[in-house]
C-alpha cells in the first residue's frame, strides 16, 4: 500500500477510537451468558456481563425506537445485538461493530445502537451521514459524531 494511503488509514483509525465501524465479516464466536428477544430484536449477552438481558433489551428497544421515529424500521432478523463483556471491541477502541450476522456493542454502549442501525439502513461507509444522521444524533441522542464522520 502506498505510504500516503497508510498514513490516512492510521488517521481514520485514531478518529474511530470512541465510535464504531462497519465491516461485513462474520461475527466471532463468543460465550453467551443469556439471550432474550422481543419480536425481531434479539439481545445476546456475553458471559460475565453485569446487566441482565431484559434490561439490555429494554435499553436497546428504546434506542431503536428513537432511531425508527426518524429513519424508519430496519429489520433485525438474523442480526442479534450482542453486548460484549468489555468496554472496547478491539485494540482500535471501537465500541460498536456491524457484522453480517450480528451487531456487537461494548459493555454499556447501547447509545451506539442507532449508529449501527444506520449502517443496516445505508450499508458500509458513512457517505451522506453528515446531512441527516449526524445532526439528528446531536439533537436527539446528544452524541456528537462530527469529528468522527468528518463533518464540517
What's the min distance (Å) between Cβ of 98 and Zn ion? 7
What's the min distance (Å) between Cβ of 89 and Zn ion? 13
> Is the distance from CB of 115 to CB of 74 less than 8 angstroms?
no
What's the min distance (Å) between Cβ of 129 and Zn ion? 8
Question: Among 5, 16, 20, 25, which residue interacts with Zn ion (rule: CB under 5 A)?
Answer: 20
Grid cell at residue 17: 477510537
| Sign, Cα dihedral of 80, 86, 89, 94 | positive
84: left (phi over 0), alpha (psi -120 to 50) or beta: beta
> Is the distance from CB of 18 to CB of 111 less than 8 angstroms?
no
What's the min distance (Å) between Cβ of 47 and Zn ion? 27
| Helical spans, DSSP H, in 72-126 | 113-122
**In the stretch 38-77, what mask flags binding to Zn ion with x, by CB under 5 A?**
----------------------------------------
Q: Does 105 bind Zn ion (CB under 5 A)?
A: no
Question: Among 22, 43, 45, 89, which residue interacts with Zn ion (rule: CB under 5 A)?
Answer: 22
Residues that bind Zn ion (CB under 5 A): 20, 22
Amino acid at each position: 500500500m502506498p505510504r500516503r494511503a497508510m498514513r490516512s488509514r492510521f488517521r481514520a483509525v485514531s478518529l474511530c477510537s470512541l465510535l464504531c465501524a462497519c465491516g461485513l465479516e462474520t461475527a466471532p464466536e463468543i460465550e453467551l451468558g443469556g439471550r432474550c428477544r422481543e419480536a425481531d430484536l434479539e439481545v445476546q449477552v456475553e458471559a460475565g456481563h453485569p446487566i441482565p438481558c431484559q434490561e439490555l433489551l429494554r435499553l436497546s428497544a428504546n434506542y431503536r425506537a428513537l432511531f425508527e421515529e426518524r429513519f424508519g424500521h430496519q429489520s433485525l432478523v438474523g442480526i442479534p445485538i450482542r453486548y460484549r463483556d468489555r468496554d472496547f471491541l478491539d485494540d482500535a477502541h471501537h465500541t460498536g461493530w456491524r457484522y453480517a450476522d450480528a451487531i456487537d456493542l461494548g459493555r454499556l454502549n447501547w447509545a451506539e445502537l442507532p449508529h449501527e442501525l444506520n449502517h443496516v439502513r445505508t450499508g458500509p461507509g458513512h457517505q451522506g451521514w453528515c446531512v441527516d444522521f449526524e445532526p439528528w444524533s446531536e439533537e436527539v441522542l446528544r452524541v456528537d459524531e462530527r469529528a468522527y464522520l468528518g463533518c464540517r
